[in-house]
Amino acid sequence: MQDANERLRCYNYDNRERPIFEVRTISRNSAWEFHSGQHKLIFLLEGKVEVKIGFLEKKEVNKGAFWFVASAQQVKIKASVNTLLLVMRFSSRIVFCDCYILEQLYNEWQKEDETVDERQLYPSLIFPSLWHCIRGLHSTTSDGIRCRSFFDIKVKEVCFLLRAYYPKRELYRIFYPILAVDIAFSDSVKSTWQKYPTIDELARSLNYTPSGFYKRFTAVFGTSPHDWITEKKRLAIHNDLISSYLPLHEMATKWGFSSLPALSRWCVKNLGQAPGRLRRNHVSDMNR
């Protein structure tokens, strides 16, 4: 085996805190919480977990399954037993093979698959050929091999195996969170909308005039920027209220409200209840 010091000196050595491939363990009754900076696939090699991503509903996942996490998402993976994961991060555009890209998947299936619920996570089973690849990656990564060139090849291999062995309907459900007619624009919006208090500021950040942004947005998302952002904000704030202990005044600051009363007025209008009451009602329902 190659000398460890030689590997460390190589300019292709992936010494980043978040490498392309990473082995991650979670001990029994513990959790891994993180903000997803990149799109990723997570493979559950051993154990059983409960997965919560953004405003998606919690999902129990067993050994032998994998799921997709889009960038700019808050993620919590809670393990009921000792758990082993392999994380694969996408450092560039997701391409299944030279002849099939995500936009094609969207164009073929966006009108066909009416069973996709955007509040749900859709894990898939690891097929045998993909298991063989993932097990090999677990072995090499555990041995300290972190070569970027090797990792790039293996990302292509995983994507090819997805294309070769998984029905397009299943691929559509796995990658649904990022599918759009223009994935580059869609990704930019989804990863930055929370950073800007107004739609005009979001448009400027993406180098659009307000009118140009509106036209591009409605063409890609099929709805207006105001309606889309309001719905995303409604789901995200509701999730914060029922699944976090963030004080309400801090939540108001986080979501760009000038004061707690401003947050309360918004919640009454968009969620039907003041934030404190909504949180108390949820706790009461959980304790019944």
Kindly write down the DSSP assignment for every residue of 29-66, as one continuous string: T-EEEEE--S-EEEEEEESEEEEEETTSPPEEEETTEE
| Helix, coil or strand: residue 269 | helix
Is the CB of residue 66 less than 8 Å from the CB of residue 123?
Answer: yes
9 has a pLDDT exceeding 70 = no
Taking the C-alpha atoms of residue 231 and residue 226, their distance in angstroms, rounded to an integer, is 9
Flag the least confident range among 32-46, 48-62, 155-169, 187-201: 187-201
Taking the C-alpha atoms of residue 99 and residue 89, their distance in angstroms, rounded to an integer, is 22
Instruction: Classify domain 4-178 at the CATH topology level.
Output: Jelly Rolls (2.60.120)
Q: Where are the domains of the chain?
A: 4-178, 183-286
State pTM to two decimals: 0.76
Instruction: Classify domain 183-286 at the CATH topology level.
Output: Arc Repressor Mutant, subunit A (1.10.10)
Percent of the chain with pLDDT strictly greater than 70: 92
Task: Note whether 4-178 and 183-286 share their fold.
Answer: no
pLDDT recorded at residue 38: 87
258 has a pLDDT exceeding 60 = yes
Residue type (1 letter), 156 = K
Helical (H) or strand (E) element with 9: helix 4-9
Confidence of residue 167 (pLDDT cuts 50, 70, 90): very high
- Per-residue tokens: 186: 């869609």
Which of the listed ranges 8-22, 112-126, 210-224, 258-272 does the model predict with the highest average pLDDT?
258-272
Place of tokens 């799921």: 67
139: β partners: none
pLDDT recorded at residue 288: 52
pLDDT recorded at residue 3: 57
Flag the least confident range among 87-101, 236-250, 271-285: 271-285
